[in-house]
Amino acid sequence: METRKIEKSRNTRETQIEILLDLDTGAQQIDTGLPFFDHILNSMSYHGGFGLHIKARGDLEVDAHHLVEDTGIVLGSALYSAVETYGPVKRFGHSVIPMDEALSEAIVDVSGRPYLVYQADYPQSYCGDFPVDLLNEFLYALALNGKITLHALCRYGRNSHHMAEALFKAIGRAFQTAYRRNDSDEPVSTKGIL
């Protein structure tokens, strides 16, 4: 069976991003210049069982916003292209992941209808040098460009690192279920089309 691989890139005056997404194998190689961002993207891919290679550079001397948002744009575009190129997927995925005192949940619908519900009340504003409020920008860009409905919920926790890492592991596991190949050529919808 053909391996589902997609390459995408984005080059602007602010960022240069290259992504290779492999929905069927699990190798990771992530380098964004933002160590905590690399860490949670690696966790998402590893626990989701899909390959993800990211090389990203951007105007970090300004701040991390452009790089984080644009990475979400490119990864979302790759997920959307995978469905367009290789055909229907199982569509729905759900996962709840603990990390010590934190519990996070992700629900995904590969529906063609982009929507994000993101709930997180982080007790610390930074994980290392990474401002956790940028995770909203990443997730919004991911959902919009992937044309998916994503509910990303940090239920509770006392440590922002634990909460965010549990959330990205949960997103990975939800993607693993939702992006499984559909044995039928038809999308999972009573309408017969998404």
DSSP at 75:
H
Q: Quote the pTM value.
A: 0.94
What CATH number is attached to the domain comprising 134? 3.30.230.40
10 assigned to some structural domain: yes
pLDDT in tens, 75-129: 999 999 999 999 999 999 999 999 999 999 999 999 999 999 999 999 999 999 9
The dihedrals phi and psi of 35, each to the nearest 5 degrees, come to: -55, -45
Determine the structural domain holding residue 147 and report its residue range.
5-178
The Cα–Cα gap between 18 and 36 comes to 19
DSSP at 27:
-
Bridge partners, residue 132, by sequence: none
185 assigned to some structural domain: no
148 assigned to some structural domain: yes
Would you tell me the crossing angle of helices 35-48 and 65-86 to the nearest 10 degrees?
20
pLDDT-derived band of residue 188, with 50, 70 and 90 as boundaries? low
Counting the structural domains of the chain, the total is: 1
Confidence check: pLDDT of 191 > 80: no
76 assigned to some structural domain: yes
pLDDT-derived band of residue 2, with 50, 70 and 90 as boundaries? confident
Alpha-helical (H) ranges within the chain are 35-48, 65-86, 134-146, 160-178
